[in-house]
């Protein structure tokens, strides 16, 4: 029965490229016209056929993790990209669309991220061994989208370019106070203190990240200019000249968007500037993948531009500039994925094969999603005053020397 159900689903879904399926009973079928991407998958047990027919998104990830879905590691990206591309163009069952809509309506329950739940969610992902992240991130441990001003950039160069781009948008002057919401391992805060003379307070809910960030501040001799705290952003109670938040809004959850932007409004100085860097849907709101929510980012949610705009509109903040970074996160994830695969001997000494397959699936699925769907990165530049930020973007692309001359003239 379930083979018939899944066969019909794939027949309607695959409208571009070709998917070759080897079934548990040894038979094989082909789906799609054969143009474009081509992938092959082997289903090893009847149970995964049933689960794919019942809950395709969750079963796809779980089946790959436990080996019931067999795809060669070097072809996993093609397999996932083919499925995602066809999900955008093909026809999913009506019940699947209904379930997705229901999950969208009930997200207020799924993402009820109070301070305690928020800390548990963050610790689920970030308080695993830091040694794992060091294997595939850049030297500064930037775990967010890089900025490729040239396609041939190394990961280190592109992450530095990201930090430089954000710093220019913040227009920091020496001595300014900066709050880094969701400071990670401290790279952005340390950069703003070291290279721009800021006095930075970083807040995080991850104990591991806090310890590393504090150690890095000591090692860099920046303890007098950078302070890291284990604190929920909702409990910050002082004003800052600048606020930066990179890759943290995705952990807030849709029900807390109003609270988040109200807090930014409340603690940003009257002449201040905030820069919020977040993954976002350039489309209607989408339900979070059940697999990602269960295994990778519990309580996470990627907002659409309409959702964050609605929350910003309720504050006293200008949306001084909104930039959509397209085509930057897929290359970032490709760097991470290739580094992860190159480091498999070390990873396998730390984790079992189920974890390896989970992490491989996560990186490949995210890369394919950024390449195949309406998903990018938003830079939300916020201010209380209309002219806190220049009225054109010219200032972002001047050379260092011309920028210094302009600053001196002012």
| pLDDT computed for residue 96 by the predictor | 47
> What span, in angstroms and rounded, lies between the C-alpha atoms of 364 and 77?
5
| pLDDT computed for residue 287 by the predictor | 86
> What span, in angstroms and rounded, lies between the C-alpha atoms of 128 and 255?
27
| pLDDT computed for residue 98 by the predictor | 42
How many residues does this entry show for the chain? 410
Query: Angle between the 155-170 and 187-196 helix axes, to the nearest 10 degrees?
Result: 60
Ordered alpha helix ranges (H), 184-328 = 187-196, 207-220, 257-267, 290-295, 305-312
**Any idea where the domains of the chain sit in the sequence?**
2-92, 114-409
Instruction: Single out the catalytic residue among 21, 49, 122, 366.
Output: 366
| 176-188 average pLDDT score | 98
Helix, strand or coil, per DSSP, at residue 187: helix
pLDDT in tens, 261-320: 999 999 999 999 999 999 999 999 988 899 999 999 888 899 999 999 999 999 999 999
Residue with tokens 């710093």: 167
Highest mean pLDDT among 121-125, 127-131, 220-224: 220-224
- Pick 114-409's CATH classification: 3.30.360.10, 3.40.50.150, 3.30.56.10, 3.40.50.1980: 3.40.50.150
Catalytic annotation present for 183: no
Q: Is residue 323 pLDDT above 80, yes or no?
A: yes
The Cα-based distances of 224 to 174, 179, 219, 221, 366 in angstroms read 14, 15, 12, 8, 38
Reported as type and span, the H/E element at residue 318 is strand 318-325
| pLDDT computed for residue 400 by the predictor | 53
> What span, in angstroms and rounded, lies between the C-alpha atoms of 189 and 227?
9
Q: Is residue 227 pLDDT above 70, yes or no?
A: yes
| pLDDT computed for residue 166 by the predictor | 98
pLDDT in tens, 347-401: 999 999 999 999 999 999 999 999 999 999 999 999 999 999 999 999 999 765 4
pLDDT in tens, 22-73: 999 999 999 999 988 999 999 999 999 999 999 999 999 999 999 999 999 9
Average pLDDT of every residue of the chain: 90
> What span, in angstroms and rounded, lies between the C-alpha atoms of 405 and 166?
20
Reported as type and span, the H/E element at residue 49 is helix 46-54
Tokens standing for 284?
């209607």
| pLDDT computed for residue 17 by the predictor | 96
The Cα-based distances of 54 to 1, 84, 337 in angstroms read 12, 18, 30
Residue 185 — very low, low, confident or very high, per pLDDT cuts 50/70/90? Answer: very high
Strand 268-281 with 177-181, pairing: unpaired
């Amino acid at each position: 029965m379930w083979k018939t159900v899944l066969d019909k689903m794939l027949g309607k879904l695959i409208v571009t490229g070709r998917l070759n399926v080897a079934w548990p009973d040894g038979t094989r079928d082909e789906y799609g016209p054969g143009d474009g991407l081509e992938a092959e998958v082997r289903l090893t047990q009847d149970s995964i056929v049933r689960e794919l027919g019942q809950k395709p998104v969750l079963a796809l990830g779980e089946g790959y993790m436990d080996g019931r879905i067999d795809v060669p590691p070097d072809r996993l990206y093609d397999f996932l990209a083919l499925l995602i591309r066809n999900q955008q163009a093909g026809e999913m069952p009506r019940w699947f669309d209904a379930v997705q809509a229901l999950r969208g309506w009930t997200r207020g329950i799924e993402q009820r991220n109070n301070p305690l739940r928020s800390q548990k969610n963050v610790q689920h992902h970030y308080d695993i061994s830091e040694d794992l992240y060091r294997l595939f991130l850049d030297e500064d441990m930037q775990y967010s989208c890089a900025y490729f001003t040239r396609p041939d950039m190394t990961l280190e160069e592109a992450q530095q370019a990201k930090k430089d781009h954000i710093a220019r948008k913040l227009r920091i002057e020496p001595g300014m106070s900066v709050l880094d919401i969701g400071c990670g391992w401290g790279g952005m805060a340390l950069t703003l203190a070291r290279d721009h003379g800021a006095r930075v307070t970083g807040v995080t809910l991850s104990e591991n990240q806090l310890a590393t960030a504090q150690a890095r501040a000591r090692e860099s001799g920046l303890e007098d200019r950078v302070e890291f705290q284990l604190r929920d952003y909702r409990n910050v109670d002082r004003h800052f000249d600048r606020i930066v938040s990179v890759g943290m809004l995705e952990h807030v959850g849709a029900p807390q968007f109003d609270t988040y932007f109200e807090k930014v409004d409340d603690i940003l100085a009257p002449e201040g500037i905030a820069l919020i860097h977040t993954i976002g849907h350039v489309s209607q709101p989408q339900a979070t993948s059940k697999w990602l929510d269960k295994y990778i980012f519990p309580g996470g949610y990627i907002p659409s531009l309409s959702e964050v705009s609605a929350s910003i509109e309720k504050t006293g903040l200008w949306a001084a500039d909104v930039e959509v970074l397209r085509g930057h996160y897929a290359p970032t994830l490709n760097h991470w994925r290739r580094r992860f695969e190159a480091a498999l001997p070390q990873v396998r000494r730390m984790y079992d094969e189920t974890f390896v397959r989970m992490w491989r699936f996560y990186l490949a699925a995210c890369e394919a999603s950024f390449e195949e769907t309406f998903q990018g990165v938003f830079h939300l530049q916020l201010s209380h005053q209309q002219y806190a930020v220049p009225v054109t973007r010219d200032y972002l692309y001047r050379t260092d020397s011309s920028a210094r001359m302009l600053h001196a003239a002012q």
